[in-house]
């Protein structure tokens, strides 16, 4: 069994910036209230060449390390999360932006 499991490959894909495809930096992590749902990791693009630089996206990671396939048409989004949980994650992103001095609508 190779060390690079399928779930690692999923993570490598999910952590990449939706715009420039460079690996993002983990900036926050929130446990989801239901144990089986795992956690949500907030990532930020670290490439200064990217138009998405400083922007953030979220990735859900299940307790077993798998990453739910994202829904078509939405940016790195998560079918297993309820609307309320996505709201929490969005709030994390908004908080992070405020701390960084980035306007909400950017
Ligand atoms: Zn980028």
61 pLDDT more than 70: yes
Ligand 1 centroid distance, CA of 60 (Å): 19
Summarised one tens digit per residue, pLDDT across range 44-57 is 888 888 887 777 88
The whole domain housing 18 covers 6-100
Ligand 1 centroid distance, CA of 32 (Å): 26
Residue among 84, 86, 102 nearest 94 (CA): 102
Share above pLDDT 90 across residues of the chain, in percent, rounded to a whole number: 4
Q: Indicate whether 53 belongs to any domain.
A: yes
Ligand 1 centroid distance, CA of 26 (Å): 13
Q: Indicate whether 93 belongs to any domain.
A: yes
Q: Indicate whether 40 belongs to any domain.
A: yes
How many domains in the chain? 1
Q: Indicate whether 106 belongs to any domain.
A: no
Question: Where residue 30 falls among pLDDT bands split at 50, 70, 90?
Answer: confident
Q: Indicate whether 1 belongs to any domain.
A: no
Say how far apart CA 57 and CA 22 lie, in whole Å: 13
Q: Indicate whether 44 belongs to any domain.
A: yes
Highest mean pLDDT among 25-29, 89-93, 94-98: 25-29
Taking the CA of residue 44 as centre, how many other CA atoms within 13 Å lie in the half-sphere pointing to its CB?
16
Q: Indicate whether 76 belongs to any domain.
A: yes
Phi, psi angles (nearest 5°) of residue 6: -55, -40
Q: Indicate whether 105 belongs to any domain.
A: no
pLDDT at 76: 54
Alpha helices in the chain (DSSP H): 6-14, 83-100
In angstroms, how far is CA 50 from the centroid of its own chain?
A: 17
Say how far apart CA 42 and CA 26 lie, in whole Å: 6
73 pLDDT more than 50: no
């Amino acid at each position: 069994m190779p060390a690079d499991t399928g779930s690692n490959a999923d993570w490598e894909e999910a952590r990449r910036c939706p715009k420039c495809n460079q690996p993002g930096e983990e900036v926050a992590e929130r446990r989801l209230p239901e144990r089986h749902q795992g956690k949500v990791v907030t990532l930020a693009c670290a490439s200064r060449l990217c138009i998405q630089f400083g922007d953030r996206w979220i990735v859900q990671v299940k307790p077993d390390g798998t990453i739910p396939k994202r829904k078509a048409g939405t940016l790195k989004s998560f079918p297993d999360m309820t609307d309320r949980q996505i709201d929490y994650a969005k709030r994390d992103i908004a908080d992070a932006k405020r701390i960084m001095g980035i306007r909400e609508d950017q």
